[in-house]
Structure 1
Amino acid sequence: QQADGDKSHAGDSTYVGIDAILEQMRRKAMKQGFELNLMVVGQSGLGKSTLMNTLFKSKVSRRSVQPDPEERIPKTVEIKSISHDIEEKGVRMKLTVIDTPGFGDQINNENCWQPIMKFINDQYEAYLQEEINIDRKKRIPDSRVHCCIYFIPPTGHCLRPLDVEFMRRLSKVVNIVPVIAKADTLTLEERDFFKQTIREGLRANGIDVYPQKEFDEDAEDRLINDKIREMIPFAVVGKVLELLFLYLRDKGYIGRSGKYLRYMTHMQNIKDITGSIHYEIYRVRRLNESNIDTPPNPVQANGVHAAQHEALSHEM
């Protein structure tokens, strides 16, 4: 039976119908919907909520509530998640924003990354337990953190020890996207110098942020990703982005369909790396701890991140 779009190929003996299969896959994906779990990390007052609400044109992130001075700063890092179902033109997405109030706000911030690392690994563990169940669900709920947006204060100088320590450790378990918060407080010269200094700091400390070079699948991917890498860390100003978007939309340069996914063209790639690299490393380590026979780890079989897997075992 031919799909609606196949009528033009009637009588063509060479027509296979691959485009019809792709259309079926697209319809199935749209029917199931998409899941995206974003974690935002940074000190209070850096505009995390503003950026999230601007990106998705909706109130998807809670603002800090400070009822009285004594309760303004949490004594330890907390983890707070808010989920939203966003639908547009028949496409549904469950967006979960994971906030980490209290991070970096203490006088002594030693080991403040640990609750965040534990939360990420807890989500991997929950997914693993569902996966190994005899009667596992047809579609396992995915609470794994797909991307961590790390907010760097606009000091204009260099990465702080806290920034280095957090990104060095967390880049081994999650996709890290570093951004310079409140970039409008810097001049253009200061911003460019700061971006270059941060890139040098990332290289010097072996911090691998998204998009990782090891996963450029072809020349086209490499070209696109190289352009993104040249912009890292991203300089963000929430309100300016919002005004720019409204201007472009009013002028007809962009349509409403780009409303909440206009900055997420790599969303599926981020999710793929989460599942095939970060979660896979965790899964193999946990199954090895349980003395369960597992097939060869494809990540290590390809020689990618084998050293990372060994280092991760020592750090957790």
Structure 2
Amino acid sequence: METGKDAELEAEVKAELRPSDSDSQTSFIRGSDLFGYVGIEDVLDQMRRKTMKAGFEFNIMVVGQSGLGKSTLVNTLFKSKVSRKSCSSNYEEKITKTVKLHSISHVIEEKGVKMKLTVIDTPGFGDQINNENCWEPIVKYVNEQYERYLREELNINRKRRIPDSRVHCCIYFLPATGHRLRPLDVEFMKRLGKVVSIVPVIAKADTLTVDERQEFKERIKQDLAANGIHIYPQREYDEDTEERVLNDRIRESLPFAVVGTDKEHQVNGNKVLGRKTKWGIIEGECSLSHLVLLFGCQLKWRR
């Protein structure tokens, strides 16, 4: 008996394999119609084992003015000291006259799966009185990584595994002013949104009340729509039902309100990541769980 899911799968396969030549014919054969075991499912197991052995790469860029907790949030996301600030014993945060890009890489292993994580920091962005064109070095860097990867792909004697330095995601930090997007925010996201997936976050969201945070989110959404800025995840025509439900849930939470912290505290006998104040412990939550979910989607796509 054909289930709704089987019918949907058959329709998708037929749509993808629709012949361009009128003499061609495509049919859909189910497992129950096969004469014996083919071993198609083993291919997925082989691909999974190969991925676990080789691992994969994930490159994330963090952009925002100084003091918004970029390093702390990255450490919170990946549950380890992965930011450049955390890994440098003699690190000194100083405001630079121009935007400089620095990257640091780590290999993270969890349950036998390896991931090479590269965090690209952009010190100097938005820290000047005149921030005109401060996005240009960032756009240039992103485009250069695309060109480098494309050259390797087009090379006849290309490597079996091409090193991937492309920026897969950019987290853009918005100060929790409670007002609207600044001209700098609009200009940056309009320009960079054309070349990389942008995820806007409200930094240090615990400085806003719940009502203030919600009102700020709505104003940001209005500004994004008014300026034609597309942020990740964008609506795709080929989203399946499961992806659409998940992505709609993520879209409703954008921009994410985050509280980053990499310090552990005891709360009711349990260890939690949080920030200690004289009123109590603020757990590193807010929309952080949705941000982690979003990265899970990105990593799933990367594999």
TM-score, normalization by structure 2: 0.75
Structure 1 residues 12-91: aligned runs within 5 Å = 14-63=36-85, 72-91=94-113
Structure 1 residues 258-269: aligned runs within 5 Å = 264-268=295-299
Which residue of 1 is the match for residue 253 of structure 2? Answer: 231
Unpaired segments ≥5 residues, structure 1: 1-11, 249-260, 273-316
Secondary structure class of the residue paired with 1:63:
helix
Deviation string, structure 1 residues 104-145 (Cα, Å, up to 9, x no partner): 000000010000000001111111221222211111110000
Unpaired segments ≥5 residues, structure 2: 1-33, 274-291
Deviation string, structure 1 residues 237-260 (Cα, Å, up to 9, x no partner): 012997699449xxxxxxxxxxxx
- Contact kept, 8 Å, 2:85 with 2:91, in 1: the verdict is no
**Mapped partners of 1:84, 1:215: distance in 2:** 35
Deviation string, structure 1 residues 61-81 (Cα, Å, up to 9, x no partner): 02298x999x82101000000
**Mapped partners of 1:190, 1:241: distance in 2:** 26
Does the alignment pair 1:111 with 2:111?
A: no
Letter in 1 for 2:155: N
Secondary structure class of the residue paired with 2:103:
strand
**Mapped partners of 2:232, 2:91: distance in 1:** 38
CA gap of 1:269–1:27, structure 2 versus 1, over 3 A, is: closer
**Mapped partners of 2:249, 2:65: distance in 1:** 28
1:268 CA displacement? 3.5
CA gap of 1:32–1:79, structure 2 versus 1, over 3 A, is: same
**Mapped partners of 2:239, 2:293: distance in 1:** 23
Which residue of 2 is the match for residue 161 of structure 1? Answer: 183
Q: Which has the higher strand share?
A: 2
CA gap of 1:270–1:17, structure 2 versus 1, over 3 A, is: closer
**Mapped partners of 1:25, 1:127: distance in 2:** 22
Q: Which has the higher helix share?
A: 1
**Mapped partners of 1:239, 1:174: distance in 2:** 26
Does the alignment pair 1:141 with 2:163?
A: yes
CA gap of 1:126–1:41, structure 2 versus 1, over 3 A, is: same
Q: Alignment RMSD, CA only?
A: 2.8
1:89 CA displacement? 2.1
Which residue of 2 is the match for residue 152 of structure 1? Answer: 174
CA gap of 1:52–1:195, structure 2 versus 1, over 3 A, is: same
- Contact kept, 8 Å, 2:64 with 2:174, in 1: the verdict is yes
CA gap of 1:130–1:240, structure 2 versus 1, over 3 A, is: closer
1:188 CA displacement? 0.3
Deviation string, structure 1 residues 20-48 (Cα, Å, up to 9, x no partner): 22111110111110100000000000000
**Mapped partners of 1:59, 1:216: distance in 2:** 37
TM-score, normalization by structure 1: 0.72
Deviation string, structure 1 residues 182-220 (Cα, Å, up to 9, x no partner): 000000000000011111111111111000002552222
Letter in 2 for 1:90: G
1:19 CA displacement? 2.3
CA gap of 1:268–1:40, structure 2 versus 1, over 3 A, is: same
Secondary structure class of the residue paired with 1:129:
helix
**Mapped partners of 1:56, 1:225: distance in 2:** 21
**Mapped partners of 2:263, 2:235: distance in 1:** 28
Which residue of 1 is the match for residue 197 of structure 2? Answer: 175
**Mapped partners of 1:218, 1:262: distance in 2:** 17
The percentage of counterpart residues that share the same residue type is: 67
Structure 1 residues 204-215: aligned runs within 5 Å = 204-214=226-236
